[in-house]
C-alpha cells in the first residue's frame, strides 16, 4: 500500500516535467521557423508597410543618384536597413539601370522575395532573414544573419557568418572569406546573386 501511494504522488511531478519538455520543444520549433510575410487583409495594413510609408521621403532611394547612395543609406550601426519597398526595381531612380550603375553592385539572378534587379554596394552589407539585416531574404533556408559582403583589397569580399545551410560560391560551400571577382555567382538559400564591378 505504501508503494502505491508513493507512485500516485510521484506521477504528478513527472507528468509536469513531460508537459514542460513538450512545451519547450514546441517553443524551440516555433522560434526557428521563418517569419511570415506581413500580408494584411483587404483594407488592413501591416505594421511594416505603415513603417515604410512613414519614412522621410528624403531618406528613400527615389531620386537618389548612385554616387550618393552611401550617405543616404548609411549602413553603419544605428542606421536603418533597406526596406522591401526600396529593394524593388520600380523604386530605384530611372537613371539607375544595370548599364548605368557607378561602382560595384550585386545583380539579383534569382530570389524568393526580392524584386530588385540590383543591390548597390557602398559599404559592408549583411544578408539574412532577420529584420536587422541590410538585405532581408525571406527564405526558410536562410539564417538570421547568413552572409556579409564587405570592402577588401580594393574590391568586395564574401563571407559566410556561420549559417546553418551555408553560402555557395561557384556552387561550392564557402569555407572562408573570398574576394569576389567580376561575374562571380553565389547563392544563399534559393537566392542567387552575381557580383558586378560596375
7-54 pLDDT per residue, tens: 888 888 899 999 999 998 888 888 777 665 544 444 444 444 333 333
Q: Are the C-beta atoms of residues 120 and 102 closer than 8 Å to each other?
A: no
Whose cell is 500580408? That residue is 39
DSSP state of 57: G
Instruction: Give the side-chain half-sphere CA count within 13 A for 151.
Output: 9
pLDDT score recorded for residue 7 = 81
Nearest to residue 147, comparing CAs of 171, 115, 174, 121? 174
What is the DSSP annotation of 59-116? Answer: GSSTT--GGGHHHHH--STTPPPPPTTTTSGGGS-TT--TTT--S-EEEEEE-SS---
pLDDT score recorded for residue 127 = 95
pLDDT score recorded for residue 145 = 95
pLDDT score recorded for residue 36 = 58
Q: 0.95 exceeded by the pTM?
A: no
Distance CA 174, CA 197 (A): 21
Q: Are the C-beta atoms of residues 156 and 171 closer than 8 Å to each other?
A: no
pLDDT score recorded for residue 2 = 73
pLDDT score recorded for residue 151 = 95
Q: What is the pLDDT along the chain (198 residues), one digit of tens a residue?
A: 678 888 888 888 899 999 999 998 888 888 777 665 544 444 444 444 333 333 333 322 333 333 333 333 333 444 444 454 444 433 333 333 445 678 899 999 998 788 888 999 989 999 999 999 999 999 899 999 999 999 999 999 999 999 999 999 999 999 999 999 999 999 999 999 999 987
Amino acid at each position: 500500500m505504501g508503494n502505491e501511494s508513493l507512485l500516485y504522488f510521484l506521477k504528478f511531478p513527472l507528468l509536469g516535467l513531460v508537459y514542460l519538455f513538450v512545451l519547450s520543444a514546441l517553443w524551440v520549433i516555433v522560434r526557428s521557423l521563418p517569419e511570415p510575410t506581413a500580408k494584411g487583409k483587404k483594407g488592413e495594413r501591416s505594421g511594416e508597410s505603415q513603417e515604410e510609408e512613414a519614412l522621410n521621403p528624403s531618406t528613400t532611394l527615389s531620386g537618389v543618384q548612385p554616387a550618393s547612395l552611401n550617405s543616404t543609406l548609411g549602413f553603419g550601426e544605428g542606421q536603418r536597413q533597406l526596406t522591401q519597398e526600396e529593394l524593388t526595381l520600380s523604386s530605384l531612380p530611372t537613371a539607375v539601370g544595370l548599364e548605368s550603375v557607378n561602382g560595384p553592385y550585386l545583380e539579383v539572378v534569382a530570389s524568393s522575395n526580392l524584386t530588385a534587379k540590383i543591390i548597390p554596394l557602398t559599404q559592408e552589407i549583411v544578408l539574412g532573414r532577420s529584420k536587422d539585416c541590410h538585405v532581408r531574404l525571406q527564405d526558410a533556408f536562410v539564417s538570421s544573419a547568413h552572409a556579409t559582403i564587405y570592402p577588401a583589397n580594393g574590391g568586395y569580399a564574401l563571407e559566410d557568418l556561420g549559417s546553418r545551410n551555408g553560402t555557395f560560391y561557384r556552387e561550392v560551400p564557402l569555407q572562408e572569406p573570398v574576394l569576389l571577382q567580376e561575374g562571380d555567382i553565389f547563392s544563399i538559400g534559393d537566392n542567387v546573386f552575381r557580383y558586378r564591378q560596375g
